[in-house]
Amino acid sequence: MEPSTLDLLGTVTGTVVVTEPLNFWGGQRVKPRQQANAEPVFEPATGRVLCQMFPCGSEEVDEAIKSAHSAYLKWSKMAGMERARIMLEAARIIREKRDKIAKLEVINNGKSITEAVVDIDVAWQCIEYYAGMAATLAGQHVQLPGGAFAYTRREALGVCVGIGAFNYPFQVAAWKSAPALACGNAMVFKPSPMTPVTAVLLAEIYKEAGVPEGLFCVVQGGADTGSLLCHHPGVAKVSFTGSVPTGKKVMEMAAKSVKHVTLELGGKSPLLIFKDCELENAVKGALMANFLTQGQVCCNGTRVYVQREIMPQFLEEVVKRTKVIPVGDPLLDDTRMGALISKPQLDKVLAYVNQAKKEGARVLCGGDSFVPSDPKLKGGYFMSPCVLDNCRDDMTCVKEEIFGPVMSVLPFDTEEEVIKRANNSPFGLASGVFTRDISRAHRVAENLQAGTCFINNYNISPVEVPFGGYKMSGFGRENGQVTIEYYSQLKTVVVEMGDVDSLF
Ligand SMILES: NC(=O)C1=CN([C@@H]2O[C@H](COP(=O)(O)OP(=O)(O)OC[C@H]3O[C@@H](n4cnc5c(N)ncnc54)[C@H](O)[C@@H]3O)[C@@H](O)[C@H]2O)C=CC1
Ligand SMILES: C[N+](C)(C)CCCC(=O)O
């Protein structure tokens, strides 16, 4: 019997099997055309197969894009207020189904339910926020000589493609689709092949809210399906979230037909903790900067620079708190850290810890695979959160994005020195500073080369503020007013009121 993926309340880890089709276009779930190349999708907390992911081939991608295009023709002609009303309804439905969506997200992603609930809240807030902006889209009127004038129209781009990473499956689908839809576009979304099960819920919710059929489509697949989308002539824009190497490929593919591109890529963000900080907040900030979603967060502040005078107190406190983070069944309310996304990801992160040891870092806590006492979690991809001391800027753990719960702590002496060291990275997604000196805080924020700087907190990303990278962390933004510009184009209309003054 096919369980309904939204009939989950009361379920526990290790019990859900998803058999319903995970593609969505033409206003409904679509069965995969072929069973070839199926990939098992795992429940990270148990290592059990949750479902099969059947990648879409070129005919399916084509169908989805055609379906999105016909919806775009209707949607883009509607008034912003009309679009807003439907988007607000979608936000309301997400709010209503929040706990069930969060539960499925946990089962597929492995993060704690406490975090997943916040993710789903951020998703509906994002849709609500852009619903509010849909009716504000407007052009300018420009008076010209002789009674002539011009006006500008802010128009949709067409069919936009969203490609997501595994760490925030539902939220990233909302972050991309909300501004896209507000501007009058349609979207074809491809989730990560490791987390295919929740994007289709968003598609159903948009449909229930009243969008034209095909406006938000979901195609499943990995790199091959992704490149079909990036090469497709019917696509106007690709918004990509993922790693730097894949981002480069996406940009290259999009360049062939000059598609618009937004790239939200990886990071190795610095967090600067000055001796005049409020230490307890700085410690809490460092934990928030490193351990959300088992450390698999692009904007994490994984290079923690601590001013030498307060290093002993900082380390003592941060290690004390890291050691007591409850790791285990992600569906339990008390759990604060669940399982990493996959066995290969867990092995990769553990290998980074070993490499760090070889290069001279000292493990102050964690860094080992972890087997919870509950027997059903024996096959899960858990590890104990890790703090590394004795780090230097030239170590692998300080230079490369680990994408796991590993914090590298480094001492510094002066502001000038630490800014230079913090900026010495090809990445530039986020950064943070803890200090009580307000001039220093703003000076540091000005001088750090990153798309975001958090002052006296970390990893707070309200939908009202832009999020995105500098340097190799990408370009374009998500969230905030400015993202409207990344999902729309400006037309200038020039109007003559007199006779044509021809030179010929
Ligand atoms: N800046 C941001 O907002 C975020 C960045 N990331 C970054 O993503 C990485 C981890 O996520 P992963 O899912 O492992 O990244 P990934 O780059 O392996 O995959 C991301 C997405 O790209 C697709 N893809 C892979 N090859 C493709 C190709 N040739 N053409 C088109 N699409 C292709 C994948 O199927 C997946 O949907 C980390 O580096 C992390 O920092 C993750 C989350 C947020
Ligand atoms: C939600 N937040 C801010 C912790 C992370 C969002 C970026 C990402 O998708 O990794």
Neighbour-count burial for 313-348, b at 16+ CB within 10 Å, e otherwise:
ebbebbbebbeebebbbbbbeebbbbbbbbeebbee
C-alpha to C-alpha distance for 284 and 221, rounded to whole angstroms: 38
Q: Whose CA is nearest to atom 19 of ligand 1?
A: 242
Active site residue 316: no
Protein residues whose CB sits closer than 6 Å to any atom of ligand 1: 163-167, 190, 192-193, 222-223, 226-227, 230, 241-243, 246, 249-250, 264-267, 298, 401, 403, 429
Dump pLDDT digits (tens) for 80-131: 999 999 999 999 999 999 999 999 999 999 999 999 999 999 999 999 999 9
Measured in whole angstroms, how far is the alpha carbon of residue 450 from the centre of its chain? 17
Which of 167, 302, 460 is the best mutation target for the ligand 2 pocket, counting ligand atoms within 8 Å of the beta carbon and taking the most? 167
Ligand 2 centroid vs 461 CA: distance in angstroms? 7
Q: Whose CA is nearest to atom 32 of ligand 1?
A: 226
Name 140's Cβ contacts closer than 8 Å, sequence gap at least 6. Answer: 151, 152
Dump pLDDT digits (tens) for 150-172: 999 999 999 999 999 999 999 99
Which range among 5-9, 14-18, 72-76, 165-169 shows the weakest confidence by mean pLDDT?
A: 5-9
Dump pLDDT digits (tens) for 449-488: 999 999 999 999 899 999 999 999 999 999 999 999 999 9
pLDDT bracket for residue 35 (50, 70, 90): confident
Torsion of Cα atoms, 53 then 12 then 95 then 133, to 10°? -40
C-alpha to C-alpha distance for 213 and 14, rounded to whole angstroms: 35
Mapped to the 3 state alphabet, what secondary structure does 435-492 carry?
A: CCCHHHHHHHHHHCCCCEEEECCCCCCCCCCCECCEECCEECCECCCCHHHHCEEEEE
At 90, list the tokens: 């979608």
pLDDT bracket for residue 4 (50, 70, 90): low
- Write down the pLDDT at residue 11: 87
C-alpha to C-alpha distance for 166 and 188, rounded to whole angstroms: 17
